[in-house]
Structure 1
Amino acid sequence: MNILLTGGAGFIGRWVAKQLLEDGHNLWIIDDLSNGREANIEEFRQHSRLERFIEGSILDESLLKQLFEEHKFDICYHLGASINVQDSIDDPRTTFNNDTIGTFHVLEQARKHNVKVVFMSTCMVYDRCTEESGIAEHHPIKPASPYAGAKIAAENMVLSYYHAYGLPTVVIRPFNTYGPFQKTGGEGGVVAIFLKNKLAGKDLNIYGEGTQTRDLLYVADCARFVVEAGYSDKVNGEIVNAGLGRDISVNELAKLVLEGDESRIHHVEHIHPQSEIQKLLCNSSKAFGLLGWKPEVTLEEGIKRTEDWIRVTDLI
């Protein structure tokens, strides 16, 4: 197939690109490099199926129009977005433009050319987990940050194009994804940040009490889920979660990373407590039922792989 991948030079985008190329598709990647890095896709530069990398924005309607007209895409995996919660609080306009308006521009081109859209949303749209079985897709949402609000708005547009126009679309909500190629600074990469500080001999700082939990999904498992959502018609018009199905408190994660050395763990004031989700635990039963997808990499194994990668890439 001919496939367009937005945000393909980002952390998850890089792994999705790898999977799509391995599956034999012709791939076009667009990324404005505001969060992604060309180095993430350097190893694919000479791949015979990587048709083109475009440094450009999904806010550039003329660029999108040209791409969709010229290349007859079968699927658009739409991962391009602003992803930082604190940035969205500080500058909601940029996040809204990228995540909501940008998604609208992608949808309009997809509608004109009948291209399936796989929309990458986030677990941050959910309210805290209250059930032992975890958060399923019908769980209440809560836009606790402009980032979550922008994603929910975009989700509704994506699903409206399915219902109004019959356009094949799917909203996917992966939980907290981690692994090699994730940035080791900034928000969202708690595993990478902890591992980098561990290897550098630094202490690990935890926001708040550290009792907040996360469901941590290894990036190769996440990419497999993203790609499969594009291949299957069973998920068209649906919202689908993906996670490990196991949550861990940030305190326990720090202990796991430090192999029990609690002396290097410190608690600091939370930078955005109003947007914290206290408990995140994913119920992925819908993904298994519709796609046959389930995670394969344990948290312990995923942490080991990520630590090995950070060590050899000399990011410390």
Structure 2
Amino acid sequence: MRPGSGHIAIVGGSGFIGSNLAESYLRDGEEVVILDNLSRPGVEENLRWLKDHHAGRVHPVLADIRDFGAIESVFSDAKAVFHMAAQTAVTTSLVHPMDDFETNAHGAINVLEAVRKAGRDAPLVFASTNKVYGGIEGIAMRELDDRYVPADEMLRVHGFDEGRKLDFCTPYGCSKGAADQYVLDYAKSYGMPTAALRMSCIYGPRQFGTEDQGWVAHFLTCALQGTRIAIYGDGKQVRDILHVNDAVAAYRALMRSIDHLKGRAFNLGGGPQNAVSIGMVLNEISRLTGRPLETANGDWRPGDQLYFVADTRALQNAVGWKPEITWRDGIRDLRDWLVENRFPASRFRQPRRATA
């Protein structure tokens, strides 16, 4: 991020990752504009939290990125922009593909054009997704007792890198993939300092996880409530989960280096050291809560990847970033935050542990 006057604009700044990112900059004394339509249930609590702790330096703008006229002025004095707003669920995109497109694809173009027309050459980092790689089909897999793993040894050691062929599937994959490519093209066509992070599963405090998105937080919430957890497929699907503190560090590191990294997309995830199956996470949650979990299995969902682990070596080499929080420590941290903030009467309440 270039020094100088102006604010940091976080589009979708009341959401899970956006609010954590905003709080990190507010702690540094920055002025932060939060552009959000508060459409996701619960995110108004994140905005209230930011205002309570950083009154005077957090500036909410309640508007929808689908309305260019409503958002244009937000970027007139922005010195850096993070675009985090999205329709985030594959399942929702299958039911409402037009709404998904309008938010994810059209909304991204509106943000890019508003930043370009502001004329400040403000850098923009976009929150993309590993779904741009599709279902990762055609990869030979081995089924172990508790997880799937690729037969290819190099994939097991490093994961999938950015050279993986783009393969948009499901309306969500298409809309986010289109936005991803527009962000990169604005660096080529207009010389704008733009870049993208293709994220795996991010989890942590301030997440309002649901069955359709934010599954780690959703599982923990169900466990603390004592409600049944629905598992789609056999539970051996593998993801490389990443704590939100590490994700925030990655976004900030990329923004700091964007002048020589513009036009590039990087994978962002926990990497092989944080690769876990759904069943492994459930077992850890059961151990942390001290109770067995009630689960029910359903059919596989469209676009579900048997295995996705991000190869993050390109990002590590480019900006010096690496994950610091192990998946077990991270899940414990989220459990402690949920108990403290959403289940204060829970018998599982324990003193909050600090994590790196």
- TM interval, shorter chain, is over 0.9
Aligned to 1:29: 34
Aligned to 1:269: 298
SS in structure 1 at match of 2:240: strand
Aligned to 1:194: 219
Unaligned residue ranges in structure 1 (runs of 5+): none
- CA RMSD between the two structures: 2.0
Displacement after TM superposition at 1:202 (Å): 3.4
Task: Note if contact 2:63-2:71 (Cα within 8 Å) is conserved in structure 1.
Answer: no
Displacement after TM superposition at 1:200 (Å): 2.3
Which of 320, 337, 349 is the equivalent residue of 1:309?
A: 337
Displacement after TM superposition at 1:138 (Å): 1.2
Q: Which amino acid aligns with 1:8?
A: G
In 2, Cα distance between equivalents of 1:293 and 1:307: 25
Task: Note if contact 1:172-1:240 (Cα within 8 Å) is conserved in structure 2.
Answer: yes
Which of 111, 114, 124 is the equivalent residue of 2:131?
A: 124
Normalising to structure 2: TM-score of the pair?
0.83
1:45 pairs with 2:51: yes
Task: Note if contact 2:239-2:276 (Cα within 8 Å) is conserved in structure 1.
Answer: yes
SS in structure 1 at match of 2:231: strand
Q: Which amino acid aligns with 2:295?
A: H
Task: Note if contact 2:188-2:263 (Cα within 8 Å) is conserved in structure 1.
Answer: yes
Aligned to 2:350: none
Which of 261, 278, 285 is the equivalent residue of 1:235?
A: 261
Normalising to structure 1: TM-score of the pair?
0.93
In 1, Cα distance between equivalents of 2:116 and 2:85: 18
Displacement after TM superposition at 1:241 (Å): 1.3
Aligned to 2:245: 220
In 2, Cα distance between equivalents of 1:16 and 1:263: 34
Which of 146, 153, 160 is the equivalent residue of 1:135?
A: 160
Q: Which amino acid aligns with 2:270?
A: L
Q: Which amino acid aligns with 2:128?
A: S
Q: Which amino acid aligns with 1:172?
A: L
Q: Which amino acid aligns with 1:242?
A: L
Sequence identity percentage: 30
Task: Note if contact 2:19-2:50 (Cα within 8 Å) is conserved in structure 1.
Answer: no
Aligned to 1:85: 90
SS in structure 2 at match of 1:160: helix
In 1, Cα distance between equivalents of 2:231 and 2:285: 13
Aligned to 1:10: 15
1:68 pairs with 2:93: no
Displacement after TM superposition at 1:184 (Å): 3.8
SS in structure 2 at match of 1:139: coil
Which of 125, 142, 147 is the equivalent residue of 2:172?
A: 147
Aligned to 2:112: 107
User: How many pairs align?
Assistant: 313
Q: Which moved more, 1:275-284 or 1:251-260?
A: 251-260
In 2, Cα distance between equivalents of 1:170 and 1:55: 25
In 2, Cα distance between equivalents of 1:62 and 1:193: 36
Which of 247, 251, 257 is the equivalent residue of 2:285?
A: 257
C-alpha distance 212-108 of structure 1, shift in aligned 2 (>3 A): same
Displacement after TM superposition at 1:51 (Å): 4.3
Q: What CA deviation, in whole Å up to 9, does each residue of 1:230-275 have, x standing for no partner?
A: 22123211101111113111112111211298963534213x6221
Task: Note if contact 2:14-2:36 (Cα within 8 Å) is conserved in structure 1.
Answer: yes
Q: Which moved more, 1:221-230 or 1:278-287?
A: 221-230
Task: Note if contact 2:43-2:208 (Cα within 8 Å) is conserved in structure 1.
Answer: no
Q: Which moved more, 1:196-205 or 1:290-299?
A: 196-205
In 2, Cα distance between equivalents of 1:314 and 1:164: 46
Q: What CA deviation, in whole Å up to 9, does each residue of 1:30-88 have, x standing for no partner?
A: 1001126221132321525624101111112112222223xx21111001111011000
Task: Note if contact 1:210-1:267 (Cα within 8 Å) is conserved in structure 2.
Answer: no
Q: What CA deviation, in whole Å up to 9, does each residue of 1:148-183 have, x standing for no partner?
A: 110111111111111011111001112100111111
Q: Which amino acid aligns with 1:42?
A: R
Q: How does 1:270-285 map to 2 (within 5 A)?
A: 270=299, 273-285=301-313
In 2, Cα distance between equivalents of 1:64 and 1:301: 39
Q: Which moved more, 1:184-193 or 1:261-270?
A: 261-270
Task: Note if contact 2:13-2:22 (Cα within 8 Å) is conserved in structure 1.
Answer: yes
Task: Note if contact 1:25-1:49 (Cα within 8 Å) is conserved in structure 2.
Answer: no
Q: Which amino acid aligns with 2:309?
A: L
Aligned to 2:275: 247
C-alpha distance 269-3 of structure 1, shift in aligned 2 (>3 A): same
Q: Which amino acid aligns with 1:247?
A: A
Q: Which amino acid aligns with 1:94?
A: D
In 1, Cα distance between equivalents of 2:186 and 2:112: 8
